[in-house]
Structure 1
């Protein structure tokens, strides 16, 4: 069964966030810089956005990502979850990440040619 990776307007905490394999990115001085070659766009993430990006490998739900962030920044998962959901939607809208209903790797996204 192929992964169902698609843009969505309704993000849920049980979805998995996976970076697009069609990008180049680096973490420089603690902040992610993402290059979209097709669109010729450069995206710069702040410290919290970089933490989300770093773990957006398709193996964690957005709820799990919120849990990890809550431990790093010493706030409750309930406080950070709305921001994680909104940021995930922003990444999807910019075309740099995908949301999936099950664990999905960047390689699986590349294999089905979602772009």
Structure 2
């Protein structure tokens, strides 16, 4: 389940590059090249295992000057797709990791 305090990290098996304002991902398991638009590329770049979903939403809201609701909806939809295709993975929260 995707919650605002969850942290996600990129699947290390997925090679990717930023090219201008887009991100290109190579899903070797599926044999697909995925091309992310500027919003998707910005979300992808923010997925680093340290930032929470809510922090990514705030970043998208500021960067693209959209409402919190719009940013939240778009980020959540996109992250759910990435999780479904195993392009990202959940990371334990900092408090859980230190326990």
Structure 2 segments unaligned to the other structure (5+ residues)? 95-99
Aligned residues of 1:14 and 1:101 also touching (Cα < 8 A): no
The structural deviation recorded for 1:21 is 0.3
Larger proportion of helix:
2
Aligned residues of 1:14 and 1:63 also touching (Cα < 8 A): yes
The structure, 1 or 2, with the larger RCO (C-alpha pairs under 8 Å, 6+ apart) is 1
Following superposition of structure 1 onto structure 2, how do residues 78-97 of structure 1 map, counting pairs within 5 Å?
78-97=69-88
- Size of the aligned set, in residue pairs, is 94
CA distance in 2, matches of 1:50, 1:82: 16
RMSD: 1.4
CA distance in 2, matches of 1:60, 1:70: 15
TM, length-normalised to structure 1:
0.74
Structure 1 segments unaligned to the other structure (5+ residues)? 1-9, 104-115
Aligned to 1:15: 6
TM, length-normalised to structure 2:
0.85
CA distance in 1, matches of 2:6, 2:81: 15
Where do 4+ consecutive residues of structure 1 move more than 2 Å? 75-79
The structural deviation recorded for 1:68 is 0.8
